[in-house]
Structure 1
Amino acid sequence: MDLPTLWFALIAVLWIGYFVLEGFDYGVGSLLPVLGRDGADGAPAETRRRQMLGSIGPFWDGNEVWLLTAGGATFAAFPHWYATLFSGFYLPLLLILLALILRGVGLEYRGKVDSAVWRQRMDWMIIAGSALPALLWGVAFTNIVRGVPIDAEMEYVGGFWNLLNPVALLGGLVTLTLFLTHGGLFIALKTDGRLRHDARALALRLGVVAAGLAVVWLAVMHGSTGNALSWVLAGLAAAALVGGLVAARGGREGWGFTGTFVAIALATASLFVALFPDVMPSTLDPAWSLTIENASSSQKTLGIMTWVAVVFTPIVLLYQSWTYWTFRKRISGHHIPTDVHHAAATAETRDRTTA
């Protein structure tokens, strides 16, 4: 394998790692207004929300490293791809960046002020900062794989509205519903009590929607740009999603989460396989497409990057594995300190009703 092909494959692996790990973070944050309500078992909404956020607390910032590494690797290995992508997709990528900033602020500062109004504002920042990237990544990758208007100078000559075509919006709905399903199963895997059962039931309903949308989207994507291997990977992704939902329905959240994990990984891999050897196809003229050859750095640069990756990648993987192993246990309601404000409000409501 030559170095441009190797680095194309490594960048694909980085995006796979980002989507399968950050995907459940997006799902958990987006589900706050749905699952973070007062439970039928009497658990207050604040307790359920803190369970949900506690499930991703040790992981979310480490999962974002995959995105930073993917962006940095693209910049160093394929500078023309990076330049065209970030200039042509400037607005959607800016929106994703702002959303991630909002989410980070919400997660870090939610517990800094003892105020229900403050926590509510932080929650909406987390919700918006989770749902918007989950939608826009699907839009972006659909456009990358299907092609965009690129001229002979390797410049994107379309506008923002070119990116919001029907197939791209369908791709956004696919990633959003897939991440919601992934996040719901992660909550079911990492929490206990009523929240666990509510999350599993919701994930099953969302999974059916995600499966239907994904089948249509993958068929459209691979029907125009796919090959035999990409079709096989897409089929395996669909089978993994269905298998995960069946396992979750039987109460096996671990296998259910594994199913969505594998489904997202294989679906992402199928897109990169369908894209290869292009990195950004041109809809104006195939000869103007960016490929792994005309968009790559020099062999010397790629060689240095390869040795750096060989040294540091195992260290990062070991650290993340240790983190997941350390925080592997479920979070129950009794792990959350009593919400005094909620108890006081409930008592006041009960006294008024009695009076």
Structure 2
Amino acid sequence: MGLQEFWFIAIAVLFIGYFVLEGFDFGVGMLMPFLGRERSPRSDSEERHADAEVGEKRRRAVLNTIGPVWDGNEVWLITAGGALFAAFPEWYATLFAGFYLPLLLILVALILRICAIEYRGKIDDPVWRRRCDLGIGIGSWVPAVLWGVAFANIVSGVAIDENKKVTAGLLDLLGPYALLGGATMALVFALHGAVFIALKTSGDVHEDAVRMAVRLSIPALIVGGGFALWTQLAHGTTWTWILVGVAAASLIAVVALTAKVREGWAFVFTTVAVIAVVVLLFGSLFPDVMPSTTDPAFSLTVENASSSPYTLKVMTWAAAFMAPVVIGYQAWTYWVFRKRISTAHIPDSIGLSLGRSK
């Protein structure tokens, strides 16, 4: 295996890390409004206020499951983008120029989510918090869907001319296969997030997360299984059938395990399902990195899109020294914050008051 193939695999591993870790972050953001609702709305104003306080603590408990780790999880995307730029500059240039609008929307949504998470607790005002919750939701749903759309288009191919320029428009990127990819990413991430919340919480929030995981498991199995099968039949190779089977078996296991409230093993299998789908996408893509539907001769491959051998060699040495440090630090962070959270651990809201009536 040469350095070009090694860095193709390395970029696939970086995206696996990003989708596994940021996937449950997205899922938590998607489900936060549903798992943070009050259980028994009352008619009396004082009781409604008490229920609102309980609902707020539930939402904060859900958000706190990813509080110590969500920003570290995004480092995987930055690293993947940097590795893509350095190892395959032609791939990077064609991808970012051709998918400019979808990638810009992902970036804007991620910025919106970051601001909403960071500033949600700065002001003690229900309207402010609702707006921040909306930002967290939008910043979770939009990237999840668009990442699925983007990778589906990368695998199926887009119109690329002889100058390595994508000539397809935005509507050309929204075909049935791409939209199914977006739906798959959204549902699998939502399920991944629900199982993660169940794993990280106790009490009422845990019970609601388990129920949500049960509801999501079958739709995720059907949609995700359909996307994996379509990918295999249209773009896969002989060995990638294994990945289709692994993804399907993992999602079937999640259906059974969530019904039995075995959230630990369910999280293991949602992780395996995400890994299998990403490996299926990259395995179906190789040796191309961006197939051209205009003419196969215009396709970008690991050979014609890569940097010089010297650049790849320097990158390899840098990664060999830095990757263990980064992975070790992140693993330590997860170990430190491994305990479950409940609403009993959530203190009363603090922050600047805007003087509105609650």
TM-score range, shorter chain: over 0.9
For normalisation by structure 2, the TM-score amounts to 0.93
SS at match of 2:138: helix
Letter in 1 for 2:38: D
Letter in 1 for 2:93: A
TM-aligned CA deviation for residue 45 of structure 1? 1.0
Using the alignment, how far apart are the partners of 2:40 and 2:298 within structure 1? 59
- 2:26 corresponds to: 26
Residue 235 (structure 2) pairs with residue 225 (structure 1): yes
Residue 246 (structure 2) pairs with residue 247 (structure 1): no
Match of 2:72 among 55, 62, 74: 62
User: 1:53-132 residue pairs with structure 2 within 5 A?
Assistant: 53-132=63-142
Match of 2:342 among 304, 308, 332: 332
TM-aligned CA deviation for residue 241 of structure 1? 1.5
TM-aligned CA deviation for residue 251 of structure 1? 1.3
TM-aligned CA deviation for residue 340 of structure 1? 9.4
TM-aligned CA deviation for residue 126 of structure 1? 0.5
Using the alignment, how far apart are the partners of 2:350 and 2:173 within structure 1? 48
- Contact 1:187/1:199 (CA < 8 Å) preserved in 2? yes
Q: Which runs of 5+ in 1 are unaligned?
A: 342-347, 350-355
- 1:353 corresponds to: none
Shifted more, 237-246 versus 101-110: the winner is: 237-246
Using the alignment, how far apart are the partners of 2:117 and 2:267 within structure 1? 23
Residue 180 (structure 2) pairs with residue 170 (structure 1): yes
How many percent of aligned residue pairs carry the same amino acid?
A: 55
Using the alignment, how far apart are the partners of 1:319 and 1:245 within structure 2? 33
User: 1:140-179 residue pairs with structure 2 within 5 A?
Assistant: 140-179=150-189
SS at match of 2:289: strand
Residue 27 (structure 2) pairs with residue 17 (structure 1): no
CA-atom RMSD in angstroms:
1.7
Deviations 1:28-57 (A, max 9, x none): 001122111013596721011000000000
User: 1:297-336 residue pairs with structure 2 within 5 A?
Assistant: 297-336=307-346
- Contact 2:214/2:258 (CA < 8 Å) preserved in 1? yes
- 2:44 corresponds to: none
TM-aligned CA deviation for residue 137 of structure 1? 0.3
TM-aligned CA deviation for residue 236 of structure 1? 0.5
Using the alignment, how far apart are the partners of 1:337 and 1:33 within structure 2? 19
User: 1:196-211 residue pairs with structure 2 within 5 A?
Assistant: 196-211=206-221
TM-aligned CA deviation for residue 244 of structure 1? 2.2
Using the alignment, how far apart are the partners of 1:29 and 1:238 within structure 2? 25
TM-aligned CA deviation for residue 339 of structure 1? 5.5
Q: Which runs of 5+ in 2 are unaligned?
A: 42-50, 352-356
Letter in 2 for 1:336: I
Match of 2:203 among 154, 179, 193: 193
- 2:47 corresponds to: none
SS at match of 2:306: coil
Deviations 1:114-155 (A, max 9, x none): 111111111111110001001100000000001000111111
Letter in 1 for 2:146: L
TM-aligned CA deviation for residue 232 of structure 1? 0.8
Deviations 1:192-239 (A, max 9, x none): 101111111111211110110111111111111100121211210111
For normalisation by structure 1, the TM-score amounts to 0.94
SS at match of 1:279: strand
Equivalenced residue count is 343
Using the alignment, how far apart are the partners of 2:298 and 2:70 within structure 1? 38
Using the alignment, how far apart are the partners of 2:234 and 2:54 within structure 1? 50
- Contact 1:75/1:82 (CA < 8 Å) preserved in 2? yes
- Contact 1:135/1:173 (CA < 8 Å) preserved in 2? yes
- 1:4 corresponds to: 4
The list of structure 1 runs, each at least 4 consecutive aligned residues, that deviate by more than 2 angstroms after superposition, is 39-43, 338-341
Match of 1:48 among 58, 63, 66: 58
SS at match of 1:149: coil
TM-aligned CA deviation for residue 245 of structure 1? 2.5
